[in-house]
Amino acid sequence: MRNVDGLKVALLGLGSMNVAILKGLIKAGIQPENVIGTTMSALSATLTSRELGIRVLANEQQSGANRLAVDGVDLAIVGVLPPYVAGICTEISQDLPCHALVVSVAAGVSIGALESALRPGQPVVRTMPNTPLAVGSGSVGLTAGPHVDDDDVDLLRNLFSPGGRVHVIAESQMDEFNAMAGSAPGYLYYLAEHMTEAGIGLGFDQKTAARLTADTLLGAAKILANEVADNPSAAGDLRREMVLPGGTTRAAFLTFDERGMGEAIPAGMQSSAEQSAAISREIAEAD
């Protein structure tokens, strides 16, 4: 069983996703001095190193930064954009210890593609996380490759648990998990953006409209999260409780329904899942 204490971790790429993951890892007990990160640019390396308190190597400053970063690690989390994932795995394959667990957070990169870029037998895990991991309310869809044992999965559950919930899913569900969780914070920002603009239209200044929107989303999300633990239909029940005949909330829903909002949301999520599948096909064809 791998131990969190003393576990050595490399984060290849330090964009919004790996930064959110790192915040959870630190809460899980990973010591910052045991973490090394990489970026492409020197500027990103300086900024992230300062913000996160870890050592960061920039590829543009140090050739072979990713290879140096994985030397002696127990866990390597690959957090670069999907088209670059296989290339980075090939680059690090000979320097990565055989026992090191490789976790990819990239949309559309299959376990097969990760395994073919690494040495035979390297344990590989494909995940689909989301950015609320940074504040303890994230979700991670996880599929383990054939060389990963139950202890490895337990370790990842422990590491991700301060950041959010881990759902072990079939790899065939990854596109749908992306639509439901990976991309989903963006849908709520979209709702918030429109609510804020509408608030300005109703006569509020931008600061007040933005504050009212964020506080309302947070409060409603907390109530929903409490209720959903015992009642999976809580969202609909809570919504119906707010609808009184002749009431103000009902007036809003009549307009939302008239404008087809109830159909637009599942259609948008379906498009997100289809785009994830399209990225997977493009990456598979490029390999």
Q: Pick between residue 56 and residue 144 the one whose CB is nearest to ligand NAP.
A: 56
CB-nearest residue to ligand NAP = 15
Least gap, CB of 43 to ligand NAP (angstroms): 7
Least gap, CB of 139 to ligand NAP (angstroms): 10
Confirm if 197 and 208 have CB atoms less than 8 A apart.
no
Bridge partner residues of 35 (DSSP): 9
Least gap, CB of 150 to ligand NAP (angstroms): 25
* Cα–Cα distance, 182 to 177 (Å, whole number): 7
Q: Does 187 bind ligand NAP (CB under 6 A)?
A: no
CA 271, 275, 276, 281 torsion: positive or negative? positive
Q: Pick between residue 16 and residue 249 the one whose CB is nearest to ligand NAP.
A: 16
Least gap, CB of 27 to ligand NAP (angstroms): 19
**Which parts of 6-25 interact with ligand NAP (CB under 6 A)?**
12-18
Q: Does 40 bind ligand NAP (CB under 6 A)?
A: yes
Strand order in the sheet with 138-144: 55-58, 35-39, 9-12, 75-78, 101-104, 124-129, 138-144, 164-168
Q: Does 182 bind ligand NAP (CB under 6 A)?
A: yes
Q: Does 44 bind ligand NAP (CB under 6 A)?
A: yes
Q: Which residues contact 6 (CB under 8 A, 6 or more apart)?
A: 31, 34
Q: Pick between residue 144 and residue 209 the one whose CB is nearest to ligand NAP.
A: 144
Residue with tokens 């633990």: 229
Q: Does 80 bind ligand NAP (CB under 6 A)?
A: yes
Least gap, CB of 175 to ligand NAP (angstroms): 12
Q: Pick between residue 11 and residue 209 the one whose CB is nearest to ligand NAP.
A: 11
- Of the candidates 24, 147, 137, 6, which has an alpha carbon nearest to the alpha carbon of residue 77? 24
Q: Does 90 bind ligand NAP (CB under 6 A)?
A: no
Q: Pick between residue 47 and residue 243 the one whose CB is nearest to ligand NAP.
A: 47
The string of DSSP letters for 89-110 reads HHHHTTTS-TT-EEEE--TT--
Among residues 2, 25, 66, 147, which is the contact residue for ligand NAP, using CB under 6 A? 66
Least gap, CB of 88 to ligand NAP (angstroms): 6
Instruction: Write 118-127 long-range contacts (CB < 8 A, 24+).
Output: 118/89, 118/90, 118/93, 119/93, 119/94, 121/147, 122/93, 122/96, 122/98, 122/147, 123/99, 123/147, 123/148, 123/149, 123/152, 124/148, 125/101, 125/152, 125/153, 125/156, 126/171, 126/174, 127/103, 127/156
Among residues 34, 59, 122, 196, which is the contact residue for ligand NAP, using CB under 6 A? 59
Q: Does 174 bind ligand NAP (CB under 6 A)?
A: no
**Which parts of 105-124 interact with ligand NAP (CB under 6 A)?**
105-107
The contact set with ligand NAP (CB under 6 A) reads 12-18, 38-41, 44, 59, 66, 79-82, 84, 88, 105-107, 128-131, 182
